[in-house]
Amino acid sequence: YIGTISVVMLTLSFRAGSVIVSMIFFMLLVLFVSLIPILEPALCLIIWGLEIIAMVVLALVKKMDTATVIAFVLISIMGLMLSFIAYAGIIRKLDYKLSLDHAISEAETDPMTGLLNRRGLEHKLENIWPHCIRQQIKVAVIMVDIDNFKKYNDSFGHPAGDECIKSVTGAIRQCIRRRTDYGARVGGEEFLVLLTDIEPVQAVKWTLHLQKTINTL
C-alpha cells in the first residue's frame, strides 16, 4: 500500500503544473507515510530515505529554488519524526498488552503444573459453555483424583508428592491433543479435563487411555 500510494503521489507531484501543487501532493504523501504504523525502524528509515531521494529528484526536475528545497527537507524530517513517534506509541501499547496478557496468564495458571487453575477454568468456561450450548456441541468433563495421595505425600515427603503431581500432569498433557481441550488443577491432587465436540464413546475411550497412562507411572 505504501509503495502504491507513493508512486501515485510522486507521479502527481512530478506532473503538477506548479511548484505549490507539487508541494501539496508531496505533503499528502508525507502525511500518509507518517500515519502508517511501520513496526521496523530499519524499514522506516529505508522508506523515508527513498521518499527523500524522490524529493531531491523532484526538486531537480522542477528546478526549485533553495528555499523550496529546504521546505521540502523540513517536511520530510517532520514526517520521519512523526513516524518514529507513532512507532514508539505502538511499541508501548504492545508492551502493555503483552504485560497484561502475561499477568492474566499467571493469574489463571497453576504455577506447579502449568495447567489452568480454578480461576482460569472458570474464565474458559465462560467463553466455551455458551458457544457449546448454542451450537449443540457435546462436552465431556472428566475428574482425575490421585488415589492415596495424602498417604504417599506423608510417607515420601512433599518433594516426592510434587513430582507425583507433575508426572500425572505430564500424562494429562500427553492425552490432550486438541487446542479446544483443556486441563486444570482444581485441588491439591484433583484435576479436571474438559473435552469439546466429542461423542460419549470416544470420551470413555479417552478416559480409559488416560487412566492406563497414569497407572503406568
Q: Which of 40, 51, 106, 189 is catalytic?
A: 189
The CA distance from 212 to 200, in Å, is 18
Is residue 106 part of the annotated active site? The answer reads no
Q: Which of 24, 23, 25 is nearest to 7 (CA)?
A: 25
Place of cell 510434587: 162
Angle between helices 41-62 and 19-35 (to 10 degrees): 180
**Is 157 strand, coil or helix?**
coil
The CA distance from 155 to 151, in Å, is 6
Q: Is 145 left (phi over 0), alpha (psi -120 to 50) or beta?
A: beta
Catalytic center residues: 189
